[in-house]
Structure 1
Amino acid sequence: MDNIGRQESPDYVQTSLAGAMALGLEPGSFYRNAYPGSLNLLMTYQDGCRANCSYCGLARERWAEPDEHTFIRVKWPVYELADIIGILARPPQAAAAKVQKLGRICISMITHPRAAADCIDIVRQLSAASPLPVSVLASPTILPAGGAFFQAVKAAGADRVGIAVDAATAALFAGLRGPAVGGPHRWETYWEAVEQAVKVFGSGHVSVHLIVGLGETEQAMVQAIDRANQYGAQAHLFSFCPEPGSRLGGRKPPAYGQYRRIQLAAYLLNNRHSTIDAFAFNGHGKIVGYGSRLQELLGDDLAAGEPFRTSGCPNREGCVACNRPYGNERPGPDLRNYPFSPDSSDIDIIKGQIWDE
């Protein structure tokens, strides 16, 4: 379909509000100077996403007032890709300070029949114009079989890929993303894509996104994290936060204790500091132990708070770039994912939350 005159990908993309602020396209400041380290771009089409995920702001059947058309609870303004490239291509001495803090570009696909080919085009343009590494959050449902997309997007310049499995179990996936809500996604398709992506990009260069608080037990979430690791992928965590007008718009976020325990489990498993067999769960699937005291595993400062920082793709120096400032909550003292290194007062708060409900 001809997209002349339409603000659609590949010529146009949306960017997170934080990303637009970092580019100097939107005004604003960042709580505790938590500048975004990754420019998150979202592909866009006039007829929208074909999926219908119960918790998503892009869902096909989401109802919302015009001023509530958000994704991850913030607006994603549309910009011409050429304008973004023009900003990114400026020499370092001419770039704004916030732009200089960017360490990665991430392109998120939506479930649309044109998205696979258009994503490869966008990756090629950005890789040619900017020295920043480029990653892709892929939508497996629309990809050709056999891993050809992953080979093509790597050849275009991407160095990493993410797969948003989101739900921890097959039953939850089907009930929130699949047939039960009229959605096209299938659990097996997503995990097959993880396996294909690892074959192309290599172990440690693929991530699996998981959302805590969709109705799973802590044990089920730990098993999903372990499964991602078994494929050679890293698990990146998100805390559920309701989108107005979505099917789960009335659900509450998970308790801080639940999220903290899963964060600890993900840190220990992703970094091979422990195994799932060492963990202990009660009869309700709640984590009640990690095999050793946390001080023995992480030290009194809980590994300087690293388990509770946002987990995401790194910059070229190996530090987390995709810190997604306040993607899980409003700015304030009780953060779920810290977009910076927690200080001693933050760690005291975290310690009080781990076993608290």
Structure 2
Amino acid sequence: MIKVSAGTAHVLGLKQLKTDAPPTTAYLMAGEKCSRSCGFCPQGRDSQSRSDLLSRVTWPGFQMQEVVPRIAAAFQSGEIKRTCLQVVNSREAWLHTREMIAELTRQTDVPICLSCTRMDMARLEEMLAAGVERIGLPLDVANPELYSQIKGGSWSEQLAFIEAAARTFPGRISTHLIVGLGEREEEICQLLQRFTDQGITVALFAFTPVPGTALADRPPPPLAQYRRIQAAHWLIKNKLVRVEQMIFTASGRLVYLGAREQLRQWLACGRAFQTSGCPDCNRPYYNEKPGGIMYNYPRPLTEAEREQELAFLFSSLKTEPKEEEQCSGA
């Protein structure tokens, strides 16, 4: 059996679903009930959530021989542009993952991404040699103390491994950062710069409370906070502004990104507010409910949406910095 995200199952003709934004990546999941116990994850060891959830998305199961040919056909038609394997950290999941990669590479040339919170360098090398194009090694939590509380283990060790992997396999490593876990905005922006400087692709997520998880009662981040981080990410990864030029309050809130007219020119396309991460990954409604707050747009924004989001972003930023506020790193 392969677990397939509900949106992917719809695109592949395995499930009927009403959606205005079909996924452009086929999302598959290997395994169930991780050996770790991340406080935000329904698949965590201690989670009481439904076993078919990852974030707020359901993942029904189908036979591999039914799924892979449909992915091959959808890739050929252009409906699907890549496949992403979400690997739960368990021995059985890795055995299943090897089988899925072998079948995918045998039947199609679709680019394959793989994401797993725990991996050693030998396994990483094995997966890349087997045909995986990119590997995601999530950091998730931007603050070391919060990392220990929410995910367990060592923040510095995970960060060091991500950076070592990027040096060993340049251009093939991604990571995840979740906004809204109690971190300072300055901490995330500094990491965005650090990862970008090392060629590590970052996917931003808004914290999503899921019933049955340890953090189920924590609210998602304010939209204004998320928009500021999205804008900073876009400017950093496009080498338009560095974190050292940004200004934060003493409490770490981002308040200044640059002159208003220059920002409007750089952000006018609206892509800063779309899903970030690997190419062609749009993750529809991973952090959102249809009709609710749109943290990551899974499609290009309309002109009205672009103007609305820019106005909203600018309302939470200062036009000019004040004396009591300092540039990051000053």
TM-score above 0.5: yes
Distance 1:118 1:280, change over 3 A: same
Q: Is the 2:284–2:298 Cα contact (8 Å) retained in structure 1?
A: yes
What are the residue-to-residue correspondences of 1:120-159 with 2, within 5 Å?
A: 120-140=98-118, 143-144=119-120, 147-159=121-133
Partner of 1:206: 173
1:217 equivalenced with 2:184 (yes/no): yes
Partner of 1:105: 83
Partner of 1:309: 274
What is the DSSP-based 3-state SS (H/G/I as helix, E as strand, rest coil) of the residue aligned with 2:27?
strand
What amino acid is the match of 1:41? L
Q: Is the 1:161–1:197 Cα contact (8 Å) retained in structure 2?
A: no
- Partners of 1:59 and 1:349 lie apart in 2 by 37
Partner of 1:175: 149
User: 4+ runs of 1 displaced by more than 6 Å?
Assistant: none
Q: Is the 1:169–1:224 Cα contact (8 Å) retained in structure 2?
A: no
Partner of 1:50: 35
What are the residue-to-residue correspondences of 1:49-68 with 2, within 5 Å?
A: 49-64=34-49
Choose from 37, 46, 49 the match for 2:24. 37
What is the DSSP-based 3-state SS (H/G/I as helix, E as strand, rest coil) of the residue aligned with 2:175?
strand
- Partners of 2:232 and 2:196 lie apart in 1 by 12
Choose from 294, 303, 306 the match for 1:335. 294
Distance 1:294 1:124, change over 3 A: farther
Partner of 1:3: none
Partner of 2:162: 194
Partner of 1:161: 135
Unaligned regions of 5+ residues in structure 2, if any?
A: 317-330
Partner of 2:14: 25
TM-score (norm 1): 0.82
Tell me the CA shift for residue 195 of structure 1: 2.2
Choose from 247, 259, 263 the match for 1:293. 259
Unaligned regions of 5+ residues in structure 1, if any?
A: 1-11, 179-184, 315-320
Distance 1:199 1:117, change over 3 A: farther
Q: Is the 1:49–1:111 Cα contact (8 Å) retained in structure 2?
A: yes
Listed one character per residue, the Cα deviations across residues 129-157 of structure 1 (whole Å, up to 9, x for unaligned) are 112100111232xx33xx22222111111
- Partners of 2:170 and 2:98 lie apart in 1 by 19
What amino acid is the match of 2:127? V
Partner of 2:5: 16
Identity %: 29
What amino acid is the match of 2:54? F
C-alpha RMSD over aligned residues: 2.1
Q: Is the 2:2–2:67 Cα contact (8 Å) retained in structure 1?
A: no
- Partners of 1:54 and 1:333 lie apart in 2 by 24
Q: Is the 2:113–2:132 Cα contact (8 Å) retained in structure 1?
A: yes
- Partners of 1:106 and 1:194 lie apart in 2 by 18
Aligned residues: 316
Q: Is the 1:150–1:200 Cα contact (8 Å) retained in structure 2?
A: no
